[in-house]
């Protein structure tokens, strides 16, 4: 999991996202600003010595939002932030009987519009690639599309909640019975019955647009069309499909939403979307969008496929015989000062044994110090006898250092 996390965070870094650390323990009052009552109920809670109630975080978007409105309040927007860590909640359905899971995520705070939405979705796709997944699909929807249909239903709030629940469970018998009690027009009535099947390419936007009669849903379709165009420009047309039937927590999400699925896995490995109302609760109103990747589920998929991200290779394995120990230690220190990954052996080895040791470490280069000079064996099998500073220059990519000949 650590290798996967590092690979995903490295990809986020390439998009300009800054790594931040948020606490695992927060006050319930802070978390409640961004969570529904049922979500707060599921948190694991404890009492501080002064009587205040604390909770273990069940997700990290709220703590990041609090940081953006607090410690980072003076930082100019937009903020690009990423994070990783465990989350805990008493929600077996969500965590598949586990109370603790591990997430890595990113938030784009202070940017509105389709370009920002497309950036976050595109980065999520590239992060799944970086994690080592090869067989997955990302489905993009819009919370306002369903809300527009819901607004046209003349029925009590509780009944609307039942409609939403029936759709999320794909319970079409209950859904049809509920819709019979509404004044919804025939076209939109039929659209809701077809709701779960509204997934595919941009053609479904045209089909849905011919049936809806409210500005809220029409605006959602227009935004989705633009986001899809931008994702194609990002080069991601094949990895992304549209899903107008996605039912999520619409009290939290306010616009474009998305989920990433792997084969034969009933839960999303990645999910996110726009949540423009959250930051206002912390005193810094700002649009925002982001996503999380569930590393536990990614690991499950990778385990089935026997795949994963390539572990970072060592730049050098530094071996030594007794006369070369000081040279080896200096070499290791100098290589690390230049930002390279180097391991110095803990026991003396002759060159043949050092080669076997280096292969076990998956090192690009073997350095064998037997005195003041060191033998550098590169990936092509060539051996160079060099001074320590020349070894560092060679490994760093210099081809101009002459070889010492004796």
Note the pLDDT tens digit of each residue in 191-232.
777 766 778 888 889 888 887 888 999 999 999 999 999 999
pLDDT score of 374 more than 80: yes
pLDDT score of 263 more than 90: no
Residues 65, 81: Cα–Cα separation, whole Å? 10
Domains 2-305 and 316-395 share a fold: no
* Topology, domain 2-305: BirA Bifunctional Protein; domain 2 (3.30.930)
For the chain, the domains span: 2-305, 316-395
pLDDT score of 403 more than 50: no
**Contacts (Cβ under 8 Å, ≥6 apart) of 260:** 124, 125, 128, 136, 137, 138, 139, 268, 269, 270, 271, 293
**Contacts (Cβ under 8 Å, ≥6 apart) of 369:** 318, 319, 320, 321, 324, 325, 327, 328, 331, 375
In terms of DSSP bridges, do strands 316-320 and 366-369 run parallel, antiparallel, or are they unpaired? parallel
When mean pLDDT is compared over 58-62, 143-147, 163-167, 328-332, the highest value belongs to: 328-332
- What's the whole-number mean pLDDT along residues 246-268? 82
Give the residue with greater pLDDT, 14 vs 265: 14
Can you give the pLDDT at residue 399?
33
Can you give the pLDDT at residue 138?
95
**Reduced DSSP (H G I as helix, E B as strand, rest coil) percent helix, strand, coil of the chain, to 5:** 45, 20, 35
Closest CA to 291 of 274, 308, 267: 274
High-pLDDT (> 70) share of the chain, %: 88
pLDDT score of 82 more than 90: yes
Quick check: 369 and 320 in contact, CB under 8 A? yes
Token digits for 33? Answer: 């600003």
Backbone angles phi, psi at 301, to 5 degrees: -65, -40
Q: How many helices (H) does the chain have, and how many strands (E)?
A: 16, 17
Half-sphere exposure of 81 (CA within 13 A, CB side): 27
Per-residue confidence at 33, pLDDT binned at 50, 70, 90? confident
The 10s digit of each residue's pLDDT in 127-165 is: 999 999 988 999 999 989 888 877 776 777 777 778 777
Q: Maximum CA pair distance of the chain?
A: 95
Token digits for 373? Answer: 């000079």
Range in 83-87, 107-111, 165-169 with the lowest mean pLDDT: 165-169
What mean pLDDT, rounded, does the chain reach?
A: 85
Token digits for 195? Answer: 């709701």
CA angle 123, 231, 126 (to 5 degrees): 25
* Topology, domain 316-395: Rossmann fold (3.40.50)
Residues 373, 343: Cα–Cα separation, whole Å? 18
Token digits for 279? Answer: 């930051």
Residue 46, judged by CB atoms within 10 A of its CB (0-12, 13-18, 19+), counts as exposed
**Contacts (Cβ under 8 Å, ≥6 apart) of 214:** 148, 149, 151, 152, 188
Backbone angles phi, psi at 159, to 5 degrees: -70, -35
Range in 107-111, 294-298, 313-317 with the lowest mean pLDDT: 313-317
Backbone angles phi, psi at 347, to 5 degrees: -145, 155
Give the residue with greater pLDDT, 86 vs 171: 86
pLDDT score of 398 more than 50: no
Q: Partners of 289 in the beta sheet? A: 108, 274
The 10s digit of each residue's pLDDT in 265-287 is: 878 999 999 999 999 989 999 99
Q: Is 56 strand, coil or helix?
A: strand
Can you give the pLDDT at residue 151?
79
Quick check: 40 and 31 in contact, CB under 8 A? yes
pTM as predicted: 0.79
Per the rule left: phi > 0, alpha: psi between -120 and 50, beta: everything else, 181 is alpha
């Amino acid at each position: 999991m650590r290798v996967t996390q590092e690979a995903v965070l490295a990809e986020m870094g390439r998009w300009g996202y800054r790594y931040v650390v948020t606490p695992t323990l927060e006050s319930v009052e802070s978390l409640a600003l961004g969570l529904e009552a049922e979500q707060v109920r599921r948190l694991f809670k404890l009492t501080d010595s002064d009587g205040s109630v604390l909770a273990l975080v069940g997700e990290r978007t709220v703590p990041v939002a609090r940081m953006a409105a607090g410690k980072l309040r003076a930082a100019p927007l937009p903020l690009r932030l990423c994070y990783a860590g465990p989350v805990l909640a008493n929600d077996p359905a969500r965590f598949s009987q586990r109370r603790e899971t591990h997430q890595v995520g990113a938030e784009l705070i202070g940017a509105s519009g389709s370009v920002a939405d497309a950036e976050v979705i595109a980065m999520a796709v590239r992060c799944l690639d970086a994690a080592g997944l090869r067989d997955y699909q990302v489905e993009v929807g819009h919370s306002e599309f369903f809300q527009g249909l819901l607004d046209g239903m003349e029925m009590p709030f509780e009944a609307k909640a039942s409609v939403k629940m029936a759709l999320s469970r794909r319970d079409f018998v209950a859904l049809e019975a509920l819709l019979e009690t509404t004044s919804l027009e025939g076209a939109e009535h039929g659209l809701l019955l077809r709701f779960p099947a509204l997934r595919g390419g941009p053609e479904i936007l045209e089909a849905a647009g011919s049936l809806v009669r409210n500005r809220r849903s029409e605006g959602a379709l227009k935004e989705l069309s633009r986001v899809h165009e931008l994702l194609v420009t990002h080069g991601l047309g094949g990895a992304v499909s549209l899903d107008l039937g996605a039912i999520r927590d619409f009290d939290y999400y306010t616009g474009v939403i998305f989920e990433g699925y792997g084969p034969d896995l009933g839960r999303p490995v990645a999910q996110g979307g726009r949540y423009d109302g959250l930051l206002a609760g912390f005193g810094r109103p700002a649009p925002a969008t982001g996503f999380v990747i569930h590393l536990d589920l990614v690991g499950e998929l990778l385990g089935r496929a026997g795949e994963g991200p390539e572990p970072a290779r060592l730049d050098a394995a530094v071996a030594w015989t007794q006369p070369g120990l000081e040279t080896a230690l200096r070499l290791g220190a100098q290589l690390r000062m230049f930002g390279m990954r180097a391991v110095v052996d803990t026991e003396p080895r002759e060159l043949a044994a050092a080669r076997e040791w280096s292969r076990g470490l998956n090192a690009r280069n073997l350095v064998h110090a037997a005195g003041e000079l060191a033998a550098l064996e590169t990936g092509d099998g060539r051996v160079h006898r060099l001074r320590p500073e020349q070894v560092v220059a060679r490994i760093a990519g210099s081809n101009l250092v002459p070889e010492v000949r004796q």
